Structure 1
Amino acid sequence: MNSKFIKELPELVKQDVISEEIAIQIERYYELKQTNAPNRLFTVFGVLGSLLVGLGVILILAHNWDNFSRSTKTIFAFLPLIIGQLSVAFSILKKKGKTWKEASGTFLFFTVGSSIALVSQIYNIPGDLSTYVLTWILLCAPLIYLLKSDMLAILHLMFITFYAYEMGYSNYYSNETPWMYLVLIAIAIPHYIQLLKHKTNDNITSIFNWLYPLSLTIVLGTFVKDFSELGFLMYILLFSIFYNLGKIPFFDSQKLRKNGYLIFGSLGIVILMLTMSFDSFWSIDQLLFFAQESYLSLVLFIINILILGFAFYKNWMKSFNLFQYVFILFGILYLGGLNLPVVGTIIVNVLILALGITTIKIGVDKFHFGILNYGLFIITALVVCRFFDTNMSFVIRGLLFVGVGLSFFLTNYIMLKKQRSKVKTLKK
């Protein structure tokens, strides 16, 4: 029950804002909602309990493993798996609540992995870590929809990210690309769409709003093999996709902390462009148009164009926002200015300054101190970067820092003053 809101009901009745009958109806509504809602704390402890039980069984078996015969080892390898399957079947057939399904599904997920590992060890079946994880993921993927489990979807995302990391980064020189990751992440998307439709404002949906961009950010680098210079462009395009998705009204109307796409996109663009603001970056030996990275960059660019085009079609673009178009400007600059260090460096610095000013304007328009100070932080970061790679005197550098510090104080002061005057006007 929303206790704070319920406590306000007597005051609202006293002030004749609502009638006593309406207050009683509201209280009953929240009581009924609380009764029908699953116990989240119980669900969390159920999942944790399953994890601890699974780990405890593994530790007990591991301690006495060498004393068992091969047949006994095989029985112990499959026994947890059978128990996990029976618990899941019991949850489904008896139509148990979400806690039962989450706990049994989590237990079965880890028993599948342990059984595969144990059988491979007992019978000396060869294989590498990425193949093992891939087999594990594919076997457990149907459980996401069979149990409608959020925890299994989270585990799925975590393990496919690890699979791609293991194949792409740990075996970097093998030139393997984890293309299967794209199939695996697509498997979990229908579950995510259902959460967006039916649990838009729930915390679990917010977790996925952060996990998807985090996973894609980690994994994109595994697709960079032959032409590493294009990796920066690929990441700019990916972060632009995140930002443009985050500006869709469905996500943009939510609280900022729940919009992982917008935050990942904005921070990613700014950090990468600050990295590229040094003249030492703008140098490349050759440009490979038929490399894997070139095709991926083209695909990411087209996705950005499609999102922007759809936003224009739906009339979502109410005002100009440089962040939403930076991928076009940077794409042209990146391909045209690779061997022109001076031009590339100057334009990128101007772009970063413009992004900072754009962010400040957004903060002022929304009366949002966090966004306002983020814009000032972008400009401060640019000044700090130039502090280390220019020959300006310390007096000029000091004056720059004083100017930035004063801008922090003045903009926040003016914003606070406007906010107070607005509150006074509303009271009148």
Structure 2
Amino acid sequence: MSDKITNELEELLQANVVTTETAEKIREYFHQKKEENHNRLSSIFGILGAILVGLGIILVFAHNWDNLSRLIKIILSFLPLLIGQLLCGYSILKKSESTVWKETSSVFLFFAIGASISLVAQVYNIPGDINSFIISWMLLSLPLVYLLQSSIVSLLYIAGITYYGCNANYFTYPSTHSFLYWLLLLGIAPHYYQLIKTKALSNFTLFHNWFIAVSIVICLGTIAHKNGHLMHFSYMSLFTIFYFIGKTQFFDQQKLKNNSFLIIGKLGILYLLLLYSFKWFWDKSFYKTDSISETLLSIEFITAFVLTLIAAFFFYKKNNQTNFKEIYLLELVFLMNIFPLISGYEFSIVANAIVLFIGIFDVKRGIKLNHLGILNFGLLLITILITCRFFDTDLSFVIRGILFITIGLGFFLANYFILKKRNRNEK
């Protein structure tokens, strides 16, 4: 605790503003906060040190590799692995309460596993590809997450399987197609659940919220095979599910930066709506398929159907508590998954109307709550919609200019009146 706070606390004690018991609690609070900051910095520098040391060892080996005998190569291949295991064993037995030791040693061993696999394969010319290497590396590293409760290794694992999902589907498509990513993702689920239950406000949980959400968004497209043009249905339902997860009691009570599901869900829905508002987007719509029966049995359609059912369940669960009296228009957008079967190309008109109503609703909500962020978000959404129509309509430049001037004035006046209202209330 700083000298300034200590002096002020003593002054409050002498003035009988706080009791001795309250003063002790304040001292204990600031002492714990100082310890947490110290441990956080120690963890960061320890992890960075472990990464740099591991990479440095690999570079030293690589520089002199061709001049070494096979025996020396094998010894050096397993040496980082042995050192990492000894450090992890020491952390478990002697430093079980130290987050710094556990995270640092587990990160070192994580990279040592990858280095040992690649070095041994190089020495004995073992054939393989990058996909099998990443799978082996991630599966061998996964126990570290649970043995040492290492959240950094967990994040590295998520990044690794995400790269695998992209490489096995996007980068080498159509020669390879794999769904193994989804099984690998389940491997980290227990650790993530434990973080949410025990360390809901920690930075590790924050990063897991973002890593997992972004990873799923990136890899959902790997499901696409012959009917990839249907994947926007799956993404619409996925973003809706994310939105409802973000509105659950656990996430809704946290800071917005921690609520990756709400942010990605809402922005994802609006992004797809803006795509839907273009007529060219429907050039590869449901009607462009060669065989309706083949489409209905495709993995893309089945995935979209299942995700839509899950989104409907979340919608019912959230709004049933309020007897469906507080439904936000954004929450109904996932139902558009069935509308294209009826509306076809002209659904772009409906999408325009939905985006406009959402923008107006957010503007009204921002004014009502005296919240500049919500207000400006609604105005920005309307501006983006008008900008989109700027490129695909035949309106004259005069009308377009008037629209932009109107929106600009709306930004200025809305912010001005809210700030004026705040100043009036403060007085």
TM-score (norm 2): 0.91
SS in 2 for 1:172: coil
Q: Residue 120 of structure 1 corresponds to which residue in structure 2?
A: 121
Q: Residue 203 of structure 1 corresponds to which residue in structure 2?
A: 203
Instruction: Figure out how many residues of one structure are paired with residues of the other and give that number.
Output: 419
Question: Residue 225 of structure 1: CA displacement?
Answer: 1.4
Q: Residue 160 of structure 2 corresponds to which residue in structure 1?
A: 159
Inter-partner Cα distance in structure 2 for 1:263 and 1:222:
22
Tell whether 2:46 aligns with 1:46: yes
Specify whether residues 25 and 327 from structure 1 end up closer, same or farther in structure 2 by C-alpha distance, changes over 3 A only.
same
Report matched runs for 1:210-289 at 5 Å.
210-283=210-283, 284=285, 285-286=288-289, 287=292, 288-289=295-296
Q: Residue 305 of structure 1 corresponds to which residue in structure 2?
A: 312
CA contact (8 A) 1:38 1:98 kept: no
Specify whether residues 8 and 86 from structure 1 end up closer, same or farther in structure 2 by C-alpha distance, changes over 3 A only.
same
CA contact (8 A) 1:249 1:316 kept: no
Specify whether residues 5 and 136 from structure 1 end up closer, same or farther in structure 2 by C-alpha distance, changes over 3 A only.
farther
Tell whether 2:379 aligns with 1:376: yes
Specify whether residues 371 and 316 from structure 1 end up closer, same or farther in structure 2 by C-alpha distance, changes over 3 A only.
farther
Report matched runs for 1:88-167 at 5 Å.
88-96=88-96, 97-167=98-168
Q: Deviations over 1:196-225 (max 9, x none)?
A: 122222222212221111111111111111
Question: Residue 423 of structure 1: CA displacement?
Answer: 3.5
Q: Residue 72 of structure 1 corresponds to which residue in structure 2?
A: 72
CA contact (8 A) 1:150 1:204 kept: yes
Q: 1:319 aligns with which of 316, 326, 332?
A: 326
Inter-partner Cα distance in structure 1 for 2:228 and 2:275:
15
Specify whether residues 12 and 233 from structure 1 end up closer, same or farther in structure 2 by C-alpha distance, changes over 3 A only.
farther
Inter-partner Cα distance in structure 1 for 2:240 and 2:11:
48
Specify whether residues 317 and 256 from structure 1 end up closer, same or farther in structure 2 by C-alpha distance, changes over 3 A only.
farther
Inter-partner Cα distance in structure 2 for 1:201 and 1:186:
23
Stretch deviating more after TM superposition (315-324 or 196-205): 315-324
SS in 1 for 2:327: coil
Structure 2 counterpart of 1:182, which letter? W
CA contact (8 A) 1:175 1:225 kept: no
Specify whether residues 277 and 144 from structure 1 end up closer, same or farther in structure 2 by C-alpha distance, changes over 3 A only.
same
Q: Residue 415 of structure 2 corresponds to which residue in structure 1?
A: 412
Q: 1:346 aligns with which of 349, 355, 358?
A: 349
Question: Residue 175 of structure 1: CA displacement?
Answer: 4.8
Question: Residue 54 of structure 1: CA displacement?
Answer: 0.6
Inter-partner Cα distance in structure 1 for 2:157 and 2:370:
39
Tell whether 2:82 aligns with 1:82: yes
CA contact (8 A) 2:50 2:105 kept: yes
CA contact (8 A) 1:47 1:103 kept: yes
Overall identity of the aligned pairs, in %: 44
Question: Residue 321 of structure 1: CA displacement?
Answer: 1.1
Q: Residue 388 of structure 1 corresponds to which residue in structure 2?
A: 391
Stretch deviating more after TM superposition (106-115 or 319-328): 319-328
CA contact (8 A) 2:237 2:307 kept: yes
CA contact (8 A) 1:88 1:101 kept: yes
Inter-partner Cα distance in structure 1 for 2:406 and 2:374:
20
SS in 2 for 1:325: helix
Inter-partner Cα distance in structure 2 for 1:262 and 1:422:
31
Tell whether 2:171 aligns with 1:170: yes
Question: Residue 194 of structure 1: CA displacement?
Answer: 1.6
Inter-partner Cα distance in structure 2 for 1:319 and 1:311:
10
Q: 2:339 aligns with which of 310, 326, 333?
A: 333
Q: Deviations over 1:246-298 (max 9, x none)?
A: 11121112111221111111111112221221111123311411111011111
Structure 1 counterpart of 2:161, which letter? I
RMSD value over aligned CA atoms? 2.4
Inter-partner Cα distance in structure 1 for 2:361 and 2:4:
38
Stretch deviating more after TM superposition (282-291 or 219-228): 282-291
Question: Residue 24 of structure 1: CA displacement?
Answer: 3.7
Inter-partner Cα distance in structure 2 for 1:310 and 1:120:
52
Unpaired runs of at least 5, structure 1: none
Inter-partner Cα distance in structure 1 for 2:207 and 2:240:
20
Unpaired runs of at least 5, structure 2: none
Structure 2 counterpart of 1:334, which letter? P
Stretch deviating more after TM superposition (350-359 or 23-32): 23-32
Tell whether 2:285 aligns with 1:291: no
CA contact (8 A) 2:319 2:327 kept: no
Inter-partner Cα distance in structure 2 for 1:423 and 1:115:
65
Question: Residue 348 of structure 1: CA displacement?
Answer: 0.9
Q: Residue 183 of structure 1 corresponds to which residue in structure 2?
A: 183
Q: Residue 361 of structure 2 corresponds to which residue in structure 1?
A: 358
